């Protein structure tokens, strides 16, 4: 059982670090947001209409719009990351801590 919880812990930790690097690094964050979501998913990011950017049934267009703002998008990407993905990060950190506790419980 210990190995499973260790694998879950490391999987959550590594994917969270990759997520933060992909969306909180200044140049890479804008590139990830625009090219990964807008181009690959075919999102409509027009400022005049409602976004049609659905991921797992959730519209994330308003989150991605923050990365397109002139000064926030490029210069303050870590701030945009905190504003846009704070609740996702909190849930992810809670899951990491729970997996760490469970891995320690089965030593």
- Residue span of the structural domain in which 52 resides: 2-105
For CA atoms 37, 66, 29, 12, give the dihedral sign. Answer: negative
Alpha-carbon torsion, ordered 73, 48, 40, 11, to 10 deg: 50
pTM for the full predicted model: 0.79
pLDDT > 90? residue 4: no
* Overall number of domains in the chain: 1
Give the whole-angstrom CA distance, residue 64 versus residue 69: 10
pLDDT of residue 10: 95
- Residue with the bigger pLDDT between 45 and 102: it is 102
Question: What letter does residue 34 receive in the DSSP assignment?
Answer: I
Are 92 and 1 within 8 A, CB to CB? no
Q: What is the pLDDT of residues 42-95, one digit of tens each?
A: 676 666 666 667 777 777 777 777 777 777 667 788 888 898 889 999 999 999
Contacts of 82 (CB under 8 A, 6+ apart): 89
Partner residues linked to 59 by β-bridges: 54
């Amino acid at each position: 059982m210990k190995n499973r919880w260790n694998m879950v812990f490391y999987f959550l930790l590594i994917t969270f670090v990759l997520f933060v690097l992909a969306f909180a690094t200044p140049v890479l964050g804008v590139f990830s947001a625009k090219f990964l979501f807008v181009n690959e998913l075919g999102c409509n990011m027009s400022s005049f209409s409602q976004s049609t950017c659905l991921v797992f049934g959730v519209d994330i267009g308003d989150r991605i719009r923050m990365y397109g703002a002139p000064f926030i998008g490029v210069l303050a990407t870590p701030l945009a990351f905190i504003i846009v993905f704070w609740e996702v990060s909190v849930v992810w950190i809670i899951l990491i801590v729970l997996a760490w506790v469970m891995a320690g419980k089965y030593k």
